[in-house]
């Protein structure tokens, strides 16, 4: 489209949407460093929607944007990146592209960034349910985040890990999840139990995985920590015991179906 003056003559170089009209490089030709600088400036001015719309139209820019999640960036920039990612988290095309950035975001030192990142990841997993999307790249960060000192964040991570368990094999995280069954923050224990239930549901027809899960639970029950908690008749032990009994019942039911 071309702008026209009062006499109807076209104004040279005034094409709408053409960055050259303003003396700027076309976005398709800008370097990664140029893009990072531009994104940084836009996010610092609070225009998250502008960034979101751009990555919607140009998915490849998503990976560039993720580089602004490093800890030395301003917190408002990091928050803006997560907000932009959230806007595309239901897009099957974008989900694999935002996973690396969200994996960094859930470990962010800023409470708002990490909590919103894990909510975004959870939404992406739900949106991608049954679509053969590989969520395993997020597993290492989820494993670290399960030990977060932020109890609310820990609970959200446990819940999201359960969602991921429906799509990817979380076997590497199972021992940590088992240890969270008796967590003092109620939501953590509940979501940890839910994650194991999802795991059983996904692998119920795999006797090897069910046996391994039962063995891991047995190891935990005989661990020094749980034995100490049991001797003290602590709330941690009571919560763990109830949850473990429920999971073992689910395993037994699964084994009965495959017998």
Q: What is the pLDDT of residue 130?
A: 87
Asked if 244 contacts 181 with a C-beta cutoff of 8 angstroms, the reply is: yes
Residue that has been written with the tokens 């998250």 in this structure: 48
**The pair of three-digit structure tokens given for residue 143, joined into one six-digit string:** 């494993």
List the domain boundaries for the chain.
7-133
Q: What is the pLDDT of residue 256?
A: 85
Q: What is the pLDDT of residue 259?
A: 64
CA–CA dist 138, 155 (Å, integer):
16
Question: Which phi and psi (to 5°) does residue 102 adopt?
Answer: -65, -35
**pLDDT, tens digit, 9 for 90 and up, residues 94-148:** 999 999 999 999 999 999 999 999 999 999 999 998 899 999 999 999 999 999 9
Positions of the chain with pLDDT lower than 70, given as ranges:
1-28, 259
230: Cα separation from own chain's centroid: 34
Beta bridge mates, 4? 10
Q: What is the pLDDT of residue 11?
A: 46
**The pair of three-digit structure tokens given for residue 15, joined into one six-digit string:** 């094409």
Asked if 172 contacts 206 with a C-beta cutoff of 8 angstroms, the reply is: no
CA–CA dist 90, 101 (Å, integer):
15
CA–CA dist 197, 181 (Å, integer):
12
CA–CA dist 201, 90 (Å, integer):
24
Claim: this prediction has a pTM higher than 0.75: yes
């Amino acid at each position: 489209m071309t702008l026209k003056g009062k006499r109807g003559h076209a104004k040279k170089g005034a094409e709408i949407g053409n960055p050259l009209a303003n003396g700027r490089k076309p976005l398709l030709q800008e370097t990664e460093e140029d893009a990072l600088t531009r994104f940084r400036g836009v996010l610092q001015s609070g225009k998250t929607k502008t960034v979101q719309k751009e990555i919607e139209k140009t998915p490849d820019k998503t990976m560039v944007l993720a580089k602004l999640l490093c800890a030395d960036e301003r917190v408002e920039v990091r928050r803006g990146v997560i907000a932009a990612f959230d806007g595309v988290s239901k897009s099957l095309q974008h989900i694999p592209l935002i996973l690396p950035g969200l994996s960094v975001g859930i470990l962010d030192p800023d409470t708002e960034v990490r909590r919103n990142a894990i909510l975004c990841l959870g939404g992406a997993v739900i949106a991608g349910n049954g679509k053969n999307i590989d969520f395993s790249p997020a597993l290492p960060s989820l494993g670290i985040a399960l030990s977060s000192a932020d109890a609310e964040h820990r609970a959200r991570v446990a819940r999201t890990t359960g969602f991921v368990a429906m799509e990817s094999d979380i076997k590497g995280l199972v021992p940590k999840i088992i240890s969270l069954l008796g967590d003092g923050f109620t939501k953590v224990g509940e979501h940890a139990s839910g994650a194991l239930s999802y795991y059983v549901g996904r692998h119920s027809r795999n006797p090897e995985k069910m046996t391994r899960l039962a063995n891991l639970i047995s190891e935990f029950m005989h661990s020094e920590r749980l034995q100490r908690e049991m001797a003290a008749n602590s709330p941690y032990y009571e919560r763990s015991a109830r949850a473990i009994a429920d999971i073992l019942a689910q395993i037994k039911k699964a084994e009965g179906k495959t017998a």
